[in-house]
Structure 1
Amino acid sequence: MSSDLPPPPPSPPPRGAPVLDRLHDEVGRRNFLRLVGAVSAAAAIAGTVSACGGPSSTTGTDGAAGTPGTVGADGTIEAGISYSLSSGFDPMTASGATPVAANLHVFESLVDLDPVTRAAYPALATALPEKIDDTTYRATLRQGATFHDNSPVTAEDVVFSFTRILDPANSSLMVQFLPFLAGVTAVDASTVEFRLKYAFPLFPTRISVARIVPKKIVEADPKGFDAKPVGSGPYRLIEATRQDKIVFKRWDAYNGPRPAKAAAMNWRLTSDSTARVSALVSGRVAAIEDVPYVDVSGVKGKATVDSVQSFGNLFLMFNCSAKPFDDKRVRQALHYALDTDKIIATAMFGNGTAASGYLQPTHPDHHKASTVYSHDPEKAKALLAAAGVSGLSVTLTTTNTGWVTDIAPLIKESWDAVGVRTTLDVGDSSGQYKKVDAGEFQVMAAPGDPSVFGNDVDLLMRWFYVGTWPTKRFRWAGSAQDTQLNGLLDQASRSSDKDTQSKLWQQAMDLVADEVPLYPVLHRKLPTAWNPKTLAGFKPLPTTGLSFLDVSAV
């Protein structure tokens, strides 16, 4: 899967998308050719075959309610998307970067997070859920809201949407984010009541992870719904071809807070970076995501480019069940050995921030960890010696995501420099995670960005540290530290006192910074490019993907 979201683990419920001087010369030549090709040629847009399964093709006809053009402008937004379709669109299981981004436009939750600011706002609900008592909340649906088949959105649909997520048989990716939820019932046709297992102050915003789906359509044909989803959002999905494009049209009957401001959208799935940049430069598309770092300066002369700091990171993950990686001193040593500043400057052209904590520095709850891994080769050697390790040989498993492959040889250089003989194993994400899930790895370097699902500390930590990741991937579950971390997260999630909650989260983040079973090396800046002459209101995101909510074609 070509995505900053790794493929979800196979066991339900899932927890879850270039030595140096010689390689620098090769990278330099390759990047020069890419830049020349991107800026001087208008290459044809072409997708690449994804190794992950997804819908091959879905088509439909335009049957929107209302009169075309009654909402927003009549233009068509053309966009270049970095990732192919690596999963279906069903919002309870969609894990690929592209379907998750598409779902922002097709579906609504009761409460949504603004894709740019990450602030919560009522979407299908008329207001944030009303707290009845510590374990009971109610929400009222927006009057006149309809799905894309013209059927009304009802409380029964809301109950169904949450119930199917909670059902273990459905292996929903979202269930891990709703551990507090006991059940949902319909009070009347437009009111739902939530029963919690325990007080959870983050409830009003956390339910944004649950997209509301039409019960009748999903029950009738779950596979068909996964391939061609039906939501209540401002855009309808008309056609999706895995290696080619996704076509959207405005839903004119939409009466919510984010009406479509374009008549249609065509997302060109262009995983080839040169073709994607060329499409922007030639004017075939108005915006592209994931501008290659080497191309940023060249594209700036042709379009607006902004690199937004994100939580999205490159992490190191260790097989903590395999010696010597069961010793945290070895894990720490390999972090201290990394010249992260050089990695960011050389492979990322400055588009990253060395991890000073679990969260990126722009996150409102950022906390500088008690352990920060500056480049310290001597300390790395001392830790290896203290652990009784010498002559260590490591196979570093990495994904073939473009920016990761540029970083991998620099990790090897850093580790070789402290006497750790390093072999690179680069491959497709899906295949590499099969090795990981089988326990057939030592250390993995890979991208991750669960912030597409939410932005609170609890969610961002539970993605990696609760459930299948520590159990099936870095194999840390059951340790005293794992138990302590789970306790801290549980205490924090139930605390209604902001200061207490913050202190507990800081303790949790300090713990993982010290233990580093899986931990960020750096947080990415995400370069996005667009033409302001053809797009009005567009803003780049601090997460993987593009959003065209409140954006019009000029």
Structure 2
Amino acid sequence: MAQESIDRRSFLKATGGAAAGMAVTTGSAGCLGMGGDGGGGDLVYARGDHPTNYDPQQTTSGEVAKVTNQIYDQLIKFGAGSGGALVEGLATDWSLDGQTATLTLREGVTFHNGAELTASDVRATVRRFTDSEYDYYLGDSNRSGYGAFTFGDWVESVDDSGDLEVTFELTQQFAPFLRNLAMFAAAILSQQQIEDLGASPDEQTALGEEPQGTGAFTFDTLDNENQRVKLAANDDFWGEGPQVDAVIFKTIQQNSTRVQDVINGDSHITDNLDSQSSTQVEDADSASLASKNGINVGYMAFNMDRKEEFRDRQVRQAISYAVDTESIVSDIYEGFAEQADQPLPPDVLGYNEELDPYAHDPEQAQSLLEEAGASDLSFELATFSNPRGYNPSPVETANQVRSDLEEVGVTVEINQFSTFSSYLEYTDAGNHDACFLGWYTDNADPDNFLYVLLDPKVEMDQVPDGQDWVGFDTDGYSPLNAAAWANTEFMETVREAQSSYEEGSREELYKEANAIAHEEAPWVFIDYAETLRAVNEAVVGDSYTVSSVGGPHLNTVELQ
């Protein structure tokens, strides 16, 4: 039987690094500095894509999160560079006991629209994201997949009767809950703005064009024509900083061009580097390469709903043997990543060290395809164009996959998308046969990989007997599971792990779940990538810290 709570000492010991993965605690965790003068020039952050909607409840995009994490705060936050340690956010104290989570809110915090933060804002935020009975519900088709696994599947009710105390009653014991509260999608919105927008879902979508949070920066300008977003310093910010007058996010899709922009001093920070652009930075005198062990995974998902042949485990295994992931990591990513062997990356609770990557074995691949009667297999491989940290060279990787599969008689047609936003719309709709995706942890908990990405979020009885997949149109289905995989043994294992507050039990369950996923191969497991950033010399010392969870933490950045 799972223990009903865990004390603060045990939690802080567990969360000293990413390996913790634990999600329950009692108490507070440190105090952030107050005030900021916002007087230090314009910080320019270059990125590879330009989304046009900055509502944290309408997206799964990390490109959006880079911006919204500057505008909004969460109840609990991840410490900069900590690998997942929790620190105070809009809440200064918290506890999780059984199915009840209680948080005390920080006094004197105001939203950018002037409204004062209260517990009612927290309740309105959750209801907008999850409650179809709420007058201001965002709508089933508008809300992102984060709605269900952040709040919707776990929160029974939210009590806001105390102005500065919030109580969540959960549907079950749920170990990752407090860590979920620190994710970008758990940003706290202003009830006043929610209600001012209007009751219809169409009216609510307008929030993404003028987001109003409590963060270190306010939303200033959305310049879609020039693919720029400008944020202004919030001099009333409750926390540390900001140290600059403004942050400008500019879009440069080409890796080498974007990095050269940092080297030249036209940008100050950029991300999603590939091996070539990383070398550019290392060879430059005016910029440096900052890195941290990543908590991420890159993969190619098989859509079993759309492509009948992928419902056969032998076919999935055959393709896993055919794709030379070792060459992808060593030759294309040039050592800035390591081969993946399971859905969970190293340094996270439950990583199974007994598993090995699929070897590159074309003969075994051909044998399995013949046994499955799929020797003439052909399929579409969807790919994005702009670099992602877990796949810094997506087009080159797609060509490698196509070449490897041609060797075993499989025909691959590459479907390349120019923007990541349109790509996510395509894959979220389940229109792909196979697709490249990846995941940077939201909370450094194993649940954030195994449940979020490979559990379909449907009731067990919705999975037909003898079938290990479901359709994208199944009631409650989460498109974050791009494979449509629904293995009930796996589902039972990760769901049991969610409800345990005992670390040893969770660890063993997740090791078991990883072994199932490795054998069943719903993905080609490609890589675990380092977190890399290029930083111009104009950024003062260690004022910018690379983080593998949350961030980027731009409120502390100072410029020369």
Please give the alpha-carbon distance, in whole angstroms, between the structure 2 residues aligned to 1:94 and 1:231.
16
> In 2, distance between residues paired with 1:348 and 1:188?
52
More displaced stretch, 530-539 vs 456-465 = 530-539
1:506 is matched with: 511
Deviation at 1:195, TM superposition (A): 0.8
Q: Residue 476 of structure 2 corresponds to which residue in structure 1?
A: none
Q: 1:278 aligns to what SS in structure 2?
A: helix
Amino acid at match of 2:210: K
Q: Output the CA distance in 2 between the equivalents of 1:519 and 1:334.
A: 7
Q: 1:341-380, aligned counterparts within 5 Å?
A: 341-368=326-353, 370=355, 372-380=357-365
What is the aligned partner in structure 1 of residue 3 from structure 2?
none
* Paired residues for 1:40-189 under 5 Å: 71-72=36-37, 74-114=39-79, 116-117=81-82, 118-127=84-93, 129-131=94-96, 133-168=97-132, 169-170=137-138, 171=140, 172-173=143-144, 174-177=146-149, 178=151, 179-189=153-163
Residues in 1 aligned to 2:482 and 2:177: alpha-carbon distance in whole angstroms? 30
CA distance in 2, matches of 1:423, 1:534: 44
TM normalised by structure 2 equals 0.78
2:433 is aligned to 442
Alignment partners' CA distance in 2, 1:436 and 1:270: 23
Q: What letter matches 2:147 in structure 1?
A: V
How many angstroms apart in 1 are the aligned matches of 2:35 and 2:104? Answer: 27
Q: Distance in 1 between matches of 2:452 and 2:400?
A: 27
TM-score (norm 1): 0.79
Partner-residue secondary structure (3-state), 1:553: coil
Deviation at residue 333 of structure 1 after TM alignment: 0.9
CA displacement, residues 319-355 of structure 1 (integer Å, 9 cap, x when unaligned): 3243422110110111111221211222222222110
Superimposed CA distance per residue, residues 399-447 of structure 1 (whole angstroms, 9 cap, x where no aligned partner): 3335110111211222122233433333345666666567654333x13
Q: Report the CA distance between 1:194 and its aligned residue.
A: 1.0
Q: What corresponds to 1:518 in structure 2? A: 523
* Residues 426 and 248 of structure 1, relative CA distance in 2, 3 Å threshold: closer
Consecutive unaligned residues of structure 1, counting only runs of 5 or more, are 1-68
Q: How far apart in 2 are the matches of 1:144 and 1:267?
A: 29
Corresponding residue SS for 2:311? coil
**Structure 2 unaligned residues grouped into runs of 5+:** 1-33, 198-203, 388-392, 458-468, 473-478
Q: Matched residues in 2 for 1:283 and 1:156: separation?
A: 44
Change over 3 Å in CA distance of 1:250–1:106 after alignment to 2? same
Q: String of CA shifts for 1:263-286, please: whole Å, max 9, x gaps.
A: 322222222334322321211122
Show the counterpart of 1:539: 545
1:314 aligns with 2:298: yes
- Deviation digits for residues 491-522 of structure 1 (CA, Å, limit 9, x no counterpart): 10001211111111111122111112235311
Q: Judge conservation of contact 2:41–2:559 (CA < 8 Å) in 1.
A: yes
* Post-superposition offset of 1:545: 7.2
Give the superposition deviation at 1:130.
Answer: 2.3
Identity in percent: 21
> How big is the shift at 1:359?
2.1
Looking at structure 1, the residues matched to 509 and 348 of structure 2 have their Cα atoms a distance apart, in angstroms, of 17
1:87/1:516 CA distance change after superposition, 3 Å = farther
Once superposed, which parts of structure 1, at least 4 consecutive aligned residues long, lie more than 6 Å away?
473-476
The whole-number CA distance in structure 2 between the counterparts of 1:301 and 1:439 is 42
Distance across 2 between alignment mates of 1:530 and 1:207 = 30
Describe the SS at the equivalent of 1:535. coil
| Paired residues of 2:263 and 2:536 also in contact (CA < 8 A) | no
CA distance in 2, matches of 1:511, 1:106: 40
Count of residues in correspondence between the two structures:
479
How far apart are the structure 1 equivalents of 2:180 and 2:482?
27
CA 107–431 in structure 1, closer or farther in 2 if over 3 Å, else same? closer
The answer (yes or no) to whether the contact 1:336–1:374 under 8 Å persists in 2 is yes
CA contact (8 A) 1:333 1:379 kept: yes
Aligned equivalent of 2:228, options 215, 240, 245: 245
Asked if structure 1 preserves the Cα contact closer than 8 Å seen for 2:343 and 2:525, the reply is yes
User: Which AA in structure 1 matches 2:236?
Assistant: A
Distance 2:245 2:425 in 1: 42
